[in-house]
Chain A
Amino acid sequence: MADFETPKFREYPVVPQIKVDAMAGKGPFISRAEFDTDLGYPGELPENWKEKTLEKMGDLLGRYRSFQVFMDSCIKCGACTDKCHYFIGTNDPKNMPVARQDLMRKVYRRYFTVAGKFFPKLVGAVDLTEDVLDEWYNYYHQCSECRRCSVFCPMGIDTAEVTMAAREILAHVGKGQKYSNQIIQKVYKIGNNLGLPGPALKGILEDLEEEVEEDTGVPVKYNMDEVGCDALLMTPSADFFAEPHIDGLIGYGKVLHELGITWTVSSLASEAANFGLFIGSYENIQKISMRIREAAIELKVKRIIFGECGHAWRVAYSFLNTLAGPFDFLDQNYPVPQHILEVTYGALQEGKLRMNKAENDHLTMTFHDSCNVARASRMGDKPGGQFDIPRAVIQAACNNYVDMDSDTIKDATFCCGGGGGILTDDLMEVRVKGALPRMEALKQVTEESGVTNIAAICAICKSQFTKTLPYYGFEMDAIMSVHQLVSDAIVMTGSEQEKDLDGSDDDEKSES
Chain B
Amino acid sequence: MSAFYALLFTVAFLVLILGLVKKIIQYSRVPAPLKIPVTPAPLTKGGVAIRLAKEAILFAALFRSNKWTWLFGWLFHMSLFVVLLNHLRFFIKDVPLPLVLLQNVGEYAAFTMFIGLAGLFARRLFVARVKYISAPSDYLWLILLMFIAFTGIVMRFISHTDIIAVKEFCLGLVSFNWQSLPTDVPLMVHLFLVCVLMILLPFSKLLHIPGLFFAPSRNQVDNPREKRHVANWALDLDAEKNKTQPK
Which residues of B (33-68) have their CB < 8 Å from a CB of A?
33-36, 38-43, 55, 59, 61-62, 64-66
Binds B, one of A156-164, A182-190, A468-476: A156-164
List residues of chain A with CB within 8 A of the CB of B55: 154, 156
Specify which of B36, B62, B135, B224 is in contact with A321 (CB 8 Å cutoff). Answer: B224
- Tell me the bound Cα distance from A121 to B205 in angstroms: 15
B35 touches A322 (CB 8 A): yes
B234 interfacial by beta-carbon distance below 8 Å:
yes
B225 touches A65 (CB 8 A): no
B59 touches A68 (CB 8 A): no
- Tell me the bound Cα distance from A271 to B214 in angstroms: 35
Which residues of B (106-165) have their CB < 8 Å from a CB of A?
120, 123-124, 127-130, 132-138, 140
List residues of chain A with CB within 8 A of the CB of B233: 63
B132 touches A290 (CB 8 A): no
Binds B, one of A196-204, A257-265, A370-378, A443-451: A370-378
Q: Mark A234-259, 1 if CB is under 8 A from B, else 0.
A: 00000000000000000000000000
List residues of chain A with CB within 8 A of the CB of B234: 282, 322
B65 touches A83 (CB 8 A): yes
B186 interfacial by beta-carbon distance below 8 Å:
no
- Closest chain B residue, CB of each to CB of A283: B237
- Tell me the bound Cα distance from A322 to B30 in angstroms: 17
B174 interfacial by beta-carbon distance below 8 Å:
no
A317 touches B133 (CB 8 A): no
Specify which of A63, A83, A115 is in contact with B30 (CB 8 Å cutoff). Answer: A63
A18 interfacial by beta-carbon distance below 8 Å:
yes
List residues of chain A with CB within 8 A of the CB of B73: 77, 154
Say yes or no: A154-B32 contact (C-beta < 8 A), given A73-B211, A76-B205, A324-B241.
no
A64 touches B33 (CB 8 A): yes
B2 interfacial by beta-carbon distance below 8 Å:
no
B39 touches A377 (CB 8 A): yes
Interface centre among B65, B214, B216, B230 (most CB of A within 10 A): B65
B132 touches A99 (CB 8 A): yes
- Closest chain A residue, CB of each to CB of B32: A65
- Tell me the bound Cα distance from A282 to B233 in angstroms: 11
Say yes or no: A156-B133 contact (C-beta < 8 A), given A378-B222, A383-B222.
no
B208 interfacial by beta-carbon distance below 8 Å:
yes
A79 touches B66 (CB 8 A): yes
Q: Mark B170-200, 1 if CB is under 8 A from A, else 0.
A: 0000000000000000000000000000001
Specify which of B123, B208, B218 is in contact with A78 (CB 8 Å cutoff). Answer: B123
Interface centre among A68, A81, A155, A161 (most CB of B within 10 A): A155
A321 touches B229 (CB 8 A): yes
Say yes or no: A77-B69 contact (C-beta < 8 A), given A72-B205, A154-B59.
yes
- Closest chain B residue, CB of each to CB of A82: B129
Which residues of A (190-221) have their CB < 8 Å from a CB of B?
none
How many A residues are at the interface, by size bracket? 35 or more
B27 touches A386 (CB 8 A): no
Q: How far is the CB of B73 from chain A (nearest CB, A)?
A: 7
Q: Mark A31-71, 1 if CB is under 8 A from B, else 0.
A: 00000000000000000000000000000011111101110
B203 interfacial by beta-carbon distance below 8 Å:
yes
Specify which of A153, A335, A383 is in contact with B61 (CB 8 Å cutoff). Answer: A153
A493 interfacial by beta-carbon distance below 8 Å:
no
- Tell me the bound Cα distance from A379 to B66 in angstroms: 30
Q: How far is the CB of A322 from chain B (nearest CB, A)?
A: 5
B104 interfacial by beta-carbon distance below 8 Å:
no
Say yes or no: A74-B26 contact (C-beta < 8 A), given A96-B129, A121-B136, A375-B38.
no
- Tell me the bound Cα distance from A113 to B23 in angstroms: 12
How many B residues are at the interface, by size bracket? 35 or more
A340 interfacial by beta-carbon distance below 8 Å:
no
A152 touches B27 (CB 8 A): no
B82 interfacial by beta-carbon distance below 8 Å:
no
Q: How far is the CB of B56 from chain A (nearest CB, A)?
A: 10
A18 touches B129 (CB 8 A): yes
- Tell me the bound Cα distance from A122 to B143 in angstroms: 14
A319 touches B65 (CB 8 A): no
Specify which of B31, B36, B138, B222 is in contact with A76 (CB 8 Å cutoff). Answer: B138
Which residues of A (271-288) have their CB < 8 Å from a CB of B?
282-283, 286
A150 interfacial by beta-carbon distance below 8 Å:
yes
A358 interfacial by beta-carbon distance below 8 Å:
no
List residues of chain B with CB within 8 A of the CB of A151: 38, 61, 64
Say yes or no: A150-B217 contact (C-beta < 8 A), given A158-B36, A378-B39.
yes
A124 touches B135 (CB 8 A): yes
B216 touches A66 (CB 8 A): yes
List residues of chain A with CB within 8 A of the CB of B38: 147, 150-151, 156, 158, 375-376, 411
A312 interfacial by beta-carbon distance below 8 Å:
no
A457 interfacial by beta-carbon distance below 8 Å:
no
Say yes or no: A156-B218 contact (C-beta < 8 A), given A64-B33, A297-B245.
yes
List residues of chain A with CB within 8 A of the CB of B216: 65-66, 69
A68 touches B208 (CB 8 A): no
A69 touches B241 (CB 8 A): no
B133 touches A102 (CB 8 A): yes
Interface centre among A75, A123, A156, A411 (most CB of B within 10 A): A156
List residues of chain B with CB within 8 A of the CB of A283: 237
B135 touches A122 (CB 8 A): yes
List residues of chain A with CB within 8 A of the CB of B224: 317-319, 321-322
Specify which of A73, A290, A324, A386 is in contact with B207 (CB 8 Å cutoff). Answer: A73
- Closest chain B residue, CB of each to CB of A386: B39
List residues of chain B with CB within 8 A of the CB of A115: 137, 200, 203-204
A322 touches B211 (CB 8 A): no
B225 touches A294 (CB 8 A): no
List residues of chain B with CB within 8 A of the CB of A18: 128-129, 132
Say yes or no: A124-B62 contact (C-beta < 8 A), given A75-B208, A326-B228.
no
| For the complex of A and B, 6 pairs with smallest distance between CB atoms | A73-B211, A124-B135, A383-B40, A156-B215, A152-B65, A78-B130
Binding site for B on A (CB under 8 A): 15, 17-18, 61-66, 68-70, 72-83, 93, 96, 98-99, 102, 113-115, 121-124, 147, 150-158, 161, 282-283, 286, 290, 293-294, 297, 300, 317-319, 321-326, 329, 335-337, 374-378, 383-384, 386-387, 411
17 contacts between A and B (CB under 8 A): A15-B129, A63-B231, A65-B30, A75-B208, A77-B62, A78-B133, A79-B69, A81-B129, A96-B129, A113-B203, A122-B136, A122-B140, A318-B34, A319-B224, A322-B234, A323-B241, A378-B222
A81-B133, A374-B39, A383-B41 are known contacts; what are 11 more A-B pairs with Cβ within 8 Å? Answer: A69-B27, A69-B215, A77-B130, A124-B136, A152-B65, A154-B55, A154-B73, A156-B38, A156-B61, A286-B241, A411-B39
